[in-house]
A and B are shown apart, each in its own frame.
Chain A
């Protein structure tokens, strides 16, 4: 960040607006762009930690038996991989980084409604993250429960679950605060002429996500407090030996954690909805339906948590209802996919890096979504429950979906904030490597799951050896692409050629202001006269 500070060339940009220097210009700044970048670098750091852990897991699974670690280490690693990726990377990822950086500009505001609260939520996040990291090295060692912290094991294991759960609890509060802040901002700080029908779809998706954060995250908080009560006070709420019920824990956990999946994917859909029209040179097809489907996904997505528990002991009626609702969620998701594809139709498509990532989002998310229907149908779910199929499905949706959209957003928006461009060709090569590596790895995992390879086992039967080796090789291809992408992107952002104006030809407000953006975004009060994808109205050729 400091390095970047020195490379700022435009006076008046937010890079050189504070009297402070060094880290305090960042960690005490209430500017949404600085907080956004703080979030960005934090979540990216944790993402890389998660990647390293994931690669280690894949290496362990490269061959049957013990390869590089024993079962306990494996349990700890997949738990920490999950906790870091879910709670430290992808849940705060979009809202915190690109949400903060871009959303206020897109609606024509100078900042969010509560800038100090915004900074506080980053502090909560980073403190929670520090607590989680501390839990890895203290007490009984890193948690080994899986990121879901299922009871009764999480109530009994000697590992440092309490501290990790407390860290996640803090991050939950950070998430709620960001949600409240964004909802208020979107309601109150829209510029003159920025009607609800002219909100960029990224903002719509953040709005839907913010409501999920506000409504669902408190339940996670309560659930985590109950785990702490179970561990520290021995309340017996989840212990059948004392009249409790472990299935109740699963209900409470998934009432939050399934909507949380939509916290992860909705903003990604927003990013893709913003990128596709720009690189197709065509207004988005079905604006209203995409905006509405974000809300519909947020609403229905809150009612499907039971599909994680078909094998945990539920009535057949409940299974039927949850299965039905799960299929309902597929409808707004499919609406989005069809609208994106319709936008591409007869568009003047330019395949630059952000677009390539956005297009691969559509494909990978569709594969993940369709495999989700296999899991959402009770009969097939029982066959593949707790197998690698679930792991493959989840990574298709969250990594292939949200992750790739995050990379798309990085290539699309970061140059705007740094005022420098990256080299296009290495970005495309990196994308290709990642796309190939991703599919080799996770598609193979889905096949493995169909064949019966369970998840969360450090060892497996010899018949799974070949496919596991293939998946591990895929992970290496994926990671080499990732390294190339990051190297190219950040080299460009710090040392690349500078640019002014609107490199992609976007019609949303962030492209109408100087690059990098000035401190308060707009030199004069913006008045919005056209829609976010009305390229003609914005005077873009």
Chain B
């Protein structure tokens, strides 16, 4: 299992699909997709974090990743610990549309950015927190404690600068088995690297019965996307997300990067063949001068 997660077995690679999808993007698919997804400007810190993260991810590409399991269910009988250390069943918390953020609290960059991004956008949602949706941050580091979770909960709730019911964003910790059951069900693969983790930057939206209805990629959330996902979760609709397609096309993870350069390789080959053919033609045909007298009257 060298280079793979010690706990969660790796699932199939997704790079081949991504390659195809990129090609289809360049075949003209992009316009429709990009018009549907308005540009979301990311902060400078966001970009740096994403780059650092991408570098970290490159090394663990074999095992870290995400395989969408849309329409499948996460088991609601898993037990985690809440911020006070009390055991809590997932089913008790998933009482409606729920956003689940797989993170680890001591993460020094991307998890903070992910949760911070959510904290920024939550006050803009028109839905009632606690009633119409709930957020669950779930640590996939089994060594993290409820005290740490509680500290981060205070931090993010404060960062929201808006009243927010404490019950509507829960920060969970759990043992390795519970964590793996959840992440396996979600197709979320991560890998420990020293004190840190290599993991995808994605969150999932589940319906009341645990059905996964949407994956959200990246650290920037748009209120529109989030609202749409939550409404779909309420209505039990499951569909491939636009963001997923965009993610396939543009994601900077190393796998994605490969196909970006493949495209360049294809065009470079075409250019070189054409110019090589041109040179060969010129060399083979040699000098070819028009005869005097002149071409002009």
The closest CB in chain A to the CB of B267 belongs to: A222
Q: Mark B49-70, 1 if CB is under 8 A from A, else 0.
A: 0110010000000000000000
| Contact with B295, one of A110, A180, A184 (Cβ below 8 angstroms) | A110
Given contacts A241-B47, A241-B50, A313-B51, contact A233 B34 (CB under 8 A): yes
Q: Which of B51, B250, B275, B279 has the most C-beta atoms of chain A within 10 angstroms of its own C-beta? A: B250
Which residues of chain B have C-beta atoms less than 8 A from A539's C-beta?
Answer: none
Alpha-carbon separation in the docked complex, A519 to B54 (Å): 62
In the complex, are the beta carbons of B42 and A239 less than 8 A apart?
yes
Interface segment out of the listed A60-68, A242-250, A277-285: A242-250
Which residues of chain A have C-beta atoms less than 8 A from B279's C-beta?
Answer: 183
Alpha-carbon separation in the docked complex, A239 to B34 (Å): 13
- Does chain B have a CB within 8 A of A1? no
| Contact with B250, one of A156, A243, A313 (Cβ below 8 angstroms) | A243
Which residues of chain B have C-beta atoms less than 8 A from A296's C-beta?
Answer: none
In the complex, are the beta carbons of B250 and A215 less than 8 A apart?
no
Given contacts A236-B250, A243-B247, contact A214 B275 (CB under 8 A): yes
In the complex, are the beta carbons of A218 and B289 less than 8 A apart?
no
Q: Mark B245-264, 1 if CB is under 8 A from A, else 0.
A: 01100111100110010000
Which residues of chain A have C-beta atoms less than 8 A from B253's C-beta?
Answer: 243
In the complex, are the beta carbons of A234 and B271 less than 8 A apart?
no
- Interface residue tally for chain A (C-beta within 8 Å): 38
**Pairs of residues from A and B, 8 with the lowest C-beta to C-beta distance, nearest first:** A241-B42, A234-B39, A243-B251, A187-B282, A240-B47, A240-B50, A243-B250, A233-B34
In the complex, are the beta carbons of A243 and B252 less than 8 A apart?
yes
- Does chain B have a CB within 8 A of A525? yes
| Contact with A236, one of B39, B219, B272 (Cβ below 8 angstroms) | B39
Q: Mark A175-187, 1 if CB is under 8 A from B, else 0.
A: 0000010011001
In the complex, are the beta carbons of A189 and B218 less than 8 A apart?
no
Which residues of chain A have C-beta atoms less than 8 A from B260's C-beta?
Answer: 248
- Does chain A have a CB within 8 A of B46? yes
Alpha-carbon separation in the docked complex, A370 to B185 (Å): 61
The closest CB in chain A to the CB of B38 belongs to: A234
CB-based A-B contact count at 8 angstroms: 105
In the complex, are the beta carbons of B34 and A240 less than 8 A apart?
no
Given contacts A222-B267, A243-B252, contact A233 B287 (CB under 8 A): no
Size class of B's contact patch? 35 or more
Q: Mark A518-529, 1 if CB is under 8 A from B, else 0.
A: 011010110000
- 15 pairs, CB–CB < 8 Å, chain A vs chain B: A110-B292, A183-B279, A187-B282, A188-B285, A189-B289, A211-B275, A234-B38, A236-B246, A240-B54, A242-B218, A242-B246, A245-B51, A519-B296, A522-B292, A525-B292
Further contacts, 10 of them, CB under 8 A, given A236-B39, A520-B294:
A187-B283, A188-B287, A234-B34, A236-B246, A241-B47, A242-B40, A242-B42, A243-B256, A244-B250, A245-B51
Which A373-416 residues have C-beta < 8 A from chain B? none
- Does chain A have a CB within 8 A of B16? no
In the complex, are the beta carbons of B282 and A243 less than 8 A apart?
no
In the complex, are the beta carbons of A243 and B285 less than 8 A apart?
no
- Name the distance in Å between A218's Cβ and chain B's nearest Cβ: 6
Which residues of chain B have C-beta atoms less than 8 A from A522's C-beta?
Answer: 292
The closest CB in chain A to the CB of B33 belongs to: A235
- Name the distance in Å between A44's Cβ and chain B's nearest Cβ: 28
- Does chain B have a CB within 8 A of A335? no
- Does chain A have a CB within 8 A of B220? yes
The closest CB in chain A to the CB of B251 belongs to: A243
Which residues of chain A have C-beta atoms less than 8 A from B37's C-beta?
Answer: 234
In the complex, are the beta carbons of A215 and B271 less than 8 A apart?
yes
Alpha-carbon separation in the docked complex, A520 to B252 (Å): 57
In the complex, are the beta carbons of A188 and B282 less than 8 A apart?
yes
Alpha-carbon separation in the docked complex, A190 to B294 (Å): 16
Q: Mark A268-306, 1 if CB is under 8 A from B, else 0.
A: 000000000000000000000000000000000000000
Alpha-carbon separation in the docked complex, A275 to B53 (Å): 56
Q: Mark B212-230, 1 if CB is under 8 A from A, else 0.
A: 0000011110000000000
